[in-house]
Amino acid sequence: MFRRTILAIGALVALALPAAAQERTITVASTTSTEQSGLFGHILPIFARETGITARVVALGTGQALDVARRGDADVVFVHDRAAEERFVREGFATERRHVMFNDFILIGPAADPARIAGLRDINEALRRIAAAGAPFVSRGDRSGTHAAELRLWREAGVDPAAGRGQWYREVGQGMGPALNTAAAQNAYVLADRGTWLSFRNRQELRILVEGDARLFNQYGVMLVNPQRHPHVKAADGQRFIDWILSPAGQAAIASYRINGEQLFFPNAAQAEPGA
């Protein structure tokens, strides 16, 4: 009887151990582009297999993702607005920012192209033409990295899109997927990251019209939320995620993600970042 009791207890312990192991998780506050492009669906299972750590993603615009981390509701931040990331470090919410990968922004628009921008490589000229034509333009309007890049490009083009608000300039306050859906429905122009565009299916009349300008470079960075600001942060496992994604294995996982044979993100953790 005693032996059967011991065996039963042992069996219960054995059953409990895998469940406990599965509870080793971290929270990553990231952008909609990394989630909606399918990148996380590709690389996070690899990370889990290699480390035993499950990364749970909160996918928001970059500004909102950083706010989540400021509140201590994430262990790691993986976003794409360098100015905002560096401010996050200066404020003491992280001690270091590392660049991970890049892709580029592209200007999408309807095949009819009322602003006549198709084939331009100068993004500023393209935006000036859109504003001059009063052609419909969909903005994410959500404090995301893409939204920040869009506003920067308007400034560089010498155009205040707010003057067209409620007319040709339309803010949706949502992620990249919904913004693309709105642009498709309205035959409007929209700035998108290439990764989300390649995974987007509801294209209708939308096409890539402007690409290749160096100002469309889109860098992603990763940071551990400072445990001195938020002691409950899972610093060891969060740092393990960062170390892995910057390692040859993590960088190879990023590079291997493709849609229809086309690579969506280009790892550059081992390279000097432009402007670094």
Each residue of 23-81: pLDDT tens digit?
Answer: 799 999 999 889 888 999 999 999 999 999 999 999 998 889 999 999 999 999 999 99
Helices within 134-193 (DSSP H only): 145-157, 176-186
Fold adopted by 104-216: D-Maltodextrin-Binding Protein; domain 2 (3.40.190)
Q: What is the pTM assigned to this prediction?
A: 0.84
Ordered by start, the domain boundaries in the chain are 26-102+219-267, 104-216
Asked whether the CA dihedral 55, 60, 66, 69 is positive or negative, the reply is: negative
Res. 16: pLDDT tops 60: no
| 254, two tokens | 């990023």
Res. 88: pLDDT tops 50: yes
What average pLDDT is seen over the chain? 90
Alpha-carbon 205 to chain mean position: 25
Res. 274: pLDDT tops 60: no
Contact predicate 196/40, CB 8 Å: no
More confident residue, 274 or 80: 80
| 64, two tokens | 């909102």
pLDDT at 203: 92
| pLDDT tens-digit series, residues 190-233 | 999 998 898 888 999 999 999 999 999 999 999 999 999 999 99
| pLDDT band at residue 3 using 50, 70 and 90 as cut-offs | very low
| pLDDT band at residue 263 using 50, 70 and 90 as cut-offs | very high
Q: What is the DSSP string of 97-143?
A: -EEEEEEEEEEEEETT-TT--TT---HHHHHHHHHHHT--EEE--SS
| pLDDT tens-digit series, residues 139-182 | 999 888 899 999 999 999 999 999 999 899 999 998 899 999 99
Alpha-carbon 3 to chain mean position: 55
| pLDDT band at residue 5 using 50, 70 and 90 as cut-offs | very low
The radius of gyration of the chain's CA atoms, rounded to the nearest angstrom, is 22
| pLDDT tens-digit series, residues 235-262 | 999 999 999 999 999 999 999 999 989 9
**CATH class of the domain at 26-102+219-267:** alpha beta
26-102+219-267 against 104-216: fold identical: yes
Res. 13: pLDDT tops 50: no
